[in-house]
Structure 1
Amino acid sequence: MQSQQNIENVASELLATQNLKLVSGKSLQSLWAGYGHICQLKVLPSVTTGLSQQRPISLILKYISPPTTKPDQLHTESHLRKVLSYHIEQYFYTHLAPQMPPEIAVAKCFSSIGSKADSTATAMIMTDLREAFPIAGEKRSELSEKQVCATIDWLASFHGFWWKRVKSFDRAKLCLPPLEHFKKTHTTVADEGVWLNGGYTYYATRLDEFGDLCQSESEWRGPLCGGLSSEDGAASLASIVAKFLAPTISGERHVLDYETLIHGDVKSENLFTTASGDAVAFFDFQYVGLGLGVCDLAKLFTCSVPQESLEEDVAEEMGMGIGEEKLLRYYLDKLKSVSGKDYDWNVFVRHWETALVDWLRFQASWGFWGNTDWLEGRVRRILKDEGWIAYVKSV
């Protein structure tokens, strides 16, 4: 763990590039598993402007310095995923975020230090989103109805903006799953780009947890670990769904025309809202990458949308409810408006259903939370839909 003095030295070095000086700093929180700190900085211009009284402005330092790791843990998927994710987040803030219009609110990166091949430390100084978005989304909390609409607005705008630009990405330079990336490059540095497959829960990086599920007594062992038919051979439903959703380097896949950039970790604790709740700003772009926008929605709906907004009467098995459909159509209308592209409702629904099955696979493997009764009821119905089965097998 870095000392307060070391953190302040890094902050001062970054601030100096912007002609700013550090007045004070305090740690707001430690990052997951001790990989760094989020600090609030109070700063002033380093050059006197002639004003008799100046008020310090608030900025945020995100400082990444992974803890000392035992040799046998250096190349584990968990460690590599975390280290790579912070490089990818920095790439997003320094290269991609500046391209976005102001209505897709994210922090502005003023200055950054990237790591070299022999170092995993990185640091960024960014705007303090709480100045304009003072309400923090709490851990595993439900959003209000107005906040839900604002969140869907943000996601539809983000997905729509990148949907018409994502084909310009050089897929060969995007970051592969952690173990594949290290095998290919022998480094823990993501030099360029975002994840080829956005999110941190996808099948290729969660094989250990899925293996545990397939050895468990869970209700979902049979449906997810088994194939759709005898024709599938050893292919599990989970792997078939993963193949449907996973972006590829070649780009040759069934849903290529619908791929965009996704946030990858959409939940209430990764956003701030205005006091009125009519606008949101997202942060934590560690798992940004290619994918279908519905994959972001699947986590949002399960983890942060009030269940009654989706379906008032949750059943053991159920189709799409009025509330769920209303929110999905709201998202789709906004997405098409921003992107200027078409997305047929029936195709969109098939993508949505597939994303729900994949998200349930992660929860069943890792642990359930959120609107789990709704999620499980929806997936039980989806898995009995012959039309959906034929659709996912068509990849």
Structure 2
Amino acid sequence: MHPEFKSYLQKLLKAKDCQETEVIQSLWSGYGKISRFQLYGSAYGSVVVKQIRLEKVKTHPRGWNTDISHQRKVKSYKVETNWYKNFNKNCSVDCRTPQFLGSLSQEQKQWIVLEDLDHFFPLRKEYLQLTEVKLCLRWLAHFHATFLNKSPNGLWKIGTYWHLATRPEEFNKMELSPLKDKAKRIDDLLNNCQYQTLVHGDAKVANFCFSQNEKQVAAVDFQYVGGGCGMKDVAYLIGSCLTSEECQKYEKEILNFYFDVLKNLCLNSMSLEEYEKLEQEWRKLHPFAVADFMRFMKGWMPNHKKVNSYTEEKVNEVLKILNPQQ
């Protein structure tokens, strides 16, 4: 353990001693790790620490170890730290996140100290039943309502890890196609929608933690939080936890559920007429959010299981809207 960090952690949490007991996961592309630390003589039995190395790494799971990729990663960790310092406290129990306890930076090393969610949310899942999807959708609706019309100061101006301006390499790798031709138009429509919120930016099932009774969820990993249309999170979540067939079968029910929750929350701060304009705009943008993510996938890993008959149907729907004469 880094001696300065150990001293910082013990002082921060008034612990007599601390010990790294488990590596929960390595960070993407070798930028560090997430670990659990046991604390002795502290009010906190354990905490989770995100340990980040900001120097450029030489390896990448898919060979994207370029300067663009590196700068995106460096910014993402700065964004996440800023999120926890300045925005995270606004999240209610209905869009639960880990409590931010502190952070330390030293040259090319950085540590973010967070509440250990395993005490209350010990379960992780890969695929979800519809009832579990709705728990995550409820979280997203509360999150989007909380940050509706909030400026993403210190975060990504445009949230999500796949947005076009930060992914020129993947875009250039795309084969020529109608989707590639319309990528900028799709991006513009999403970025310039009237009703903006903060999006989680990486709302896959792996970033949701479930309570033991499976009635509550919390979310982690805020590297790509920023401004945008809430449909980006919804579309990405659905694609991460359901099969193509399930997406087709449940899409209407999923969207109706999300907007029912969002409506009840938004009516606390806006008129019904205004909310209906928001819902109308976002519903129309749902297929565009799917198509936008497919633009990234088809440059990054075109044979991925997330590229499927459901997503192709959404892409074709968007292309017909943008090319009505065809």
- TM > 0.5 between the two? yes
User: What residue in structure 2 maps to residue 354 of structure 1?
Assistant: 288
Q: Does 1:198 align with 2:159?
A: yes
Residue 85 of structure 1, CA deviation: 0.6
126, 146, 150: which one aligns with 1:161: 146
Greater shift, 283-292 or 84-93, is seen at: 84-93
Pair 1:362–1:113, CA change in 2 (3 A): same
Provide the C-alpha distance between the structure 2 equivalents of 1:132 and 1:371, rounded to a whole number of angstroms. 34
SS in 2 for 1:103: helix
Residue 103 of structure 1, CA deviation: 2.2
User: What residue in structure 1 maps to residue 61 of structure 2?
Assistant: none
In the superposition, the TM-score normalised over structure 2's length comes to 0.87
Q: Is the 8 A contact 1:15 1:111 kept in 2?
A: no
Provide the C-alpha distance between the structure 2 equivalents of 1:222 and 1:60, rounded to a whole number of angstroms. 44
SS in 1 for 2:162: coil
Residue 209 of structure 1, CA deviation: 1.6
User: What residue in structure 2 maps to residue 382 of structure 1?
Assistant: 318
Q: Does 1:287 align with 2:242?
A: no
User: What residue in structure 1 maps to residue 300 of structure 2?
Assistant: 366
SS in 2 for 1:377: helix
Provide the C-alpha distance between the structure 2 equivalents of 1:206 and 1:260, rounded to a whole number of angstroms. 22
User: What residue in structure 2 maps to residue 15 of structure 1?
Assistant: 10
Provide the C-alpha distance between the structure 2 equivalents of 1:56 and 1:200, rounded to a whole number of angstroms. 33
Matches for 1:124-139 after TM superposition, within 5 Å:
124-137=112-125
Q: Is the 8 A contact 2:31 2:52 kept in 1?
A: yes
Pair 1:148–1:306, CA change in 2 (3 A): farther
SS in 1 for 2:38: strand
Matches for 1:23-42 after TM superposition, within 5 Å:
23-26=18-21, 27-42=23-38
Residue 283 of structure 1, CA deviation: 0.3
Greater shift, 342-351 or 285-294, is seen at: 342-351
User: What residue in structure 2 maps to residue 260 of structure 1?
Assistant: 197
Residue 23 of structure 1, CA deviation: 3.6
Aligned partner letter, 1:328: L
Residue 308 of structure 1, CA deviation: 4.2
Residue 82 of structure 1, CA deviation: 0.8
Q: Which runs of 5+ in 2 are unaligned?
A: 59-63
Provide the C-alpha distance between the structure 2 equivalents of 1:372 and 1:12, rounded to a whole number of angstroms. 50
CA RMSD of aligned residues (A): 2.4
- Deviations along 1:230-274, one digit per CA (max 9) or x if unpaired, are xxxxxx31111111222xxxxxx4x13x10000001111111111
64, 67, 77: which one aligns with 1:76: 67
SS in 2 for 1:134: coil
Pair 1:339–1:14, CA change in 2 (3 A): farther
Q: Is the 8 A contact 2:33 2:51 kept in 1?
A: yes
Provide the C-alpha distance between the structure 1 equivalents of 2:114 and 2:94, rounded to a whole number of angstroms. 17
Q: Does 1:223 align with 2:184?
A: no
Aligned partner letter, 2:177: G
Pair 1:136–1:78, CA change in 2 (3 A): same
Aligned partner letter, 1:370: K
Aligned partner letter, 1:382: V
SS in 2 for 1:163: coil
- Deviations along 1:135-176, one digit per CA (max 9) or x if unpaired, are 013xxx321222101000000000011005x0xx3x6xx4xx
Pair 1:389–1:156, CA change in 2 (3 A): farther
Q: Does 1:275 align with 2:212?
A: yes
Aligned length: 309
Greater shift, 289-298 or 374-383, is seen at: 374-383
- Aligned identity (percent) is 28
Q: Is the 8 A contact 2:123 2:210 kept in 1?
A: yes
Q: Is the 8 A contact 2:197 2:227 kept in 1?
A: yes
Q: Is the 8 A contact 1:303 1:371 kept in 2?
A: no
Larger radius of gyration: 1
Q: Which runs of 5+ in 1 are unaligned?
A: 47-54, 175-192, 226-235, 247-252, 313-322, 391-395
Aligned partner letter, 2:287: E
User: What residue in structure 1 maps to residue 94 of structure 2?
Assistant: 103
SS in 2 for 1:261: strand
Q: Is the 8 A contact 2:229 2:282 kept in 1?
A: no
Q: Is the 8 A contact 2:25 2:35 kept in 1?
A: yes
Provide the C-alpha distance between the structure 1 equivalents of 2:217 and 2:38, rounded to a whole number of angstroms. 24
Q: Does 1:152 align with 2:137?
A: yes
Provide the C-alpha distance between the structure 1 equivalents of 2:4 and 2:308, rounded to a whole number of angstroms. 46
Aligned partner letter, 1:243: D
Pair 1:74–1:355, CA change in 2 (3 A): closer
SS in 1 for 2:87: helix
Q: Is the 8 A contact 1:44 1:57 kept in 2?
A: yes
User: What residue in structure 2 maps to residue 328 of structure 1?
Assistant: 255
SS in 2 for 1:383: helix
Residue 370 of structure 1, CA deviation: 2.9
Residue 389 of structure 1, CA deviation: 5.2
